[in-house]
Chain A
């Protein structure tokens, strides 16, 4: 039973355009959400997080939106750059649990 779903295994976006990565969760106990980025042969690195008391958090080119009623979050990257090509994992925390999604591979096209 997948508690955190990233339904798009991969996504291709033109350089300079907006990349939107989506994540859905099922457990209403989750109240803290994080996005990580992973390059091949490296460990994931933290990108941005959001608490359930907010609906938006922004850090430079990265913005995370949270829709609690829909149990949905999204990561927006604007503008997309070649170095953004990586696998992106969303994670949901709560009740002393942390669950990661399966990841979305983002390809930034020149």
Chain B
């Protein structure tokens, strides 16, 4: 069974703080993803990584950075948290699709971290 775990289910931070969200997967997946989910907006891709130390911007990378030093771990960093980053953050992982592209395969999601920035 694939397991994707996220370091916290709930997190409360103050404006301006540096925030780290950690994600670990145990299935040796090459690809890892960070999304945020907001009411009425669905899931939006922030960043993804197709290999260690590799990263690609998603649709909404502004205000975020990522780190992937080990294959199983993908971190999302909010350098200076702002109230508009209050959201549910979801991590996912997957094998590459047949073409090798990171987006052509089912993704396995973690349970999410609900971040509140005050």
Contacts and interface: CB of A to CB of B under 8 A. Distances in A.
A45 interface: yes
Interface in B42-78: 42-45, 56, 59
Given A42-B112, A44-B43, 18 more contacts: A32-B104, A34-B106, A36-B109, A41-B111, A42-B111, A43-B110, A43-B111, A44-B109, A45-B109, A96-B101, A96-B102, A97-B103, A98-B103, A99-B45, A100-B35, A102-B40, A102-B42, A103-B42
9 contacts: A32-B103, A42-B111, A43-B111, A44-B43, A46-B107, A97-B103, A98-B103, A99-B59, A100-B42
Interface of B: 4, 35, 40-45, 56, 59, 90, 92, 97, 101-104, 106-112
